[in-house]
Amino acid sequence: VPGFPSFLTGKEAQIGKILPVLASPDGRYVLHLESATAAYGDLLLFDAETGKSETVSRRVELSMGGPEAAWSPDSRFFVYAKAGQVHYFSLEQYRGSRLVAESYRRIGDGGIASVRWAAGGDLFYLSGTIVYRITGAELFARTLYQDILRIGRIAGRIPFDFDPSFDGFWIAPDGKALLLNAGGGNIFLCPLPAGESRTLPYLYLPRGMRAADLLWDRNDIVTLLVRGTKDGAGASAVFRIDLSAANPGFSRTSDSGVLGMTLSPGGDRAALMTETGIDIREYRSWKSLLVIPGE
């Protein structure tokens, strides 16, 4: 991208692994980390349209996985984690030179695993056992007056305290349920109407396996990819569940050697990255439509 730090702009070669970047869904902005010390760096926002770079936050913990951040689906906001707290950043405020200080953009305690954007643009935030739902319009007011206003609305509860260092979660496209990944090995379904506390355990992952990718379409069909080791070698498995069924339960498919997967924007196709190529599936039936060979 023209203007982005590179050899062409005089940037020197880095020692060690090159830290990944995180692009906004609309492709205009790039979040990246610039090392300051061995453990900390600056979180920078690069505008590919203007070529300008803005320092979002200083002394952010470096992560080999890239910036500890997540973009909203409409590219209007992103959230990022720093020193055990989650903050938001508004692109509208930034472009209008109305960005408030970082201390006024704090959402609450936690890590980047504590937050998830829903397909509709709402932000879900887990703190303790409470699930909060925050709209984009609420972010500014709720964080600015965080000492007297609770952040967001309570959308539901989970059965135990959420630990962002070990736990994770995914949100249904309609925001009415979440799948909780407890400790990396147990998957629970948590319905989200306010006041609903019923939690149903659905899947205990095979030993040595951890959740890697999850697809969730608007018809409530969920596909979970788990990866790990078995007998000293790399292994993977794919599980599927139709949450709209009367008595839903996870079932394991015959797929193996899957490295990653993604859902098409329309939700009717899935692409599986395998060891031998790309396998295109019809999402509901999981029937293979096309195999594109390649490494």
Q: How many residues does the chain have?
A: 295
Burial of 40 (0-12, 13-18, 19+ CB in 10 A): middle
**Encoded tokens for 191:** 């319905």
Phi, psi (degrees; rounded to nearest 5) at 121: 105, -5
Q: What is the DSSP string of 254-266?
A: S--SEEEEEE-TT
Sign, Cα dihedral of 198, 169, 266, 288: negative
Contacts of 192 (CB under 8 A, 6+ apart): 131, 155, 156, 172, 175, 176, 177, 178
User: Could you list the pLDDT tens digit for every one of the 295 residues in the chain?
Assistant: 888 877 777 777 767 777 889 999 999 999 999 888 888 999 999 999 999 999 999 999 988 888 999 999 999 999 999 999 999 999 998 998 888 889 889 999 999 999 999 988 899 999 999 999 998 778 776 656 665 556 678 899 998 899 999 999 999 999 989 999 998 888 998 888 754 445 565 888 888 889 999 999 999 999 999 999 888 888 999 999 999 888 888 999 999 999 999 999 899 999 999 989 999 999 999 999 999 998 7
pLDDT reported for residue 147: 58
Q: What was the pLDDT predicted at 23?
A: 96
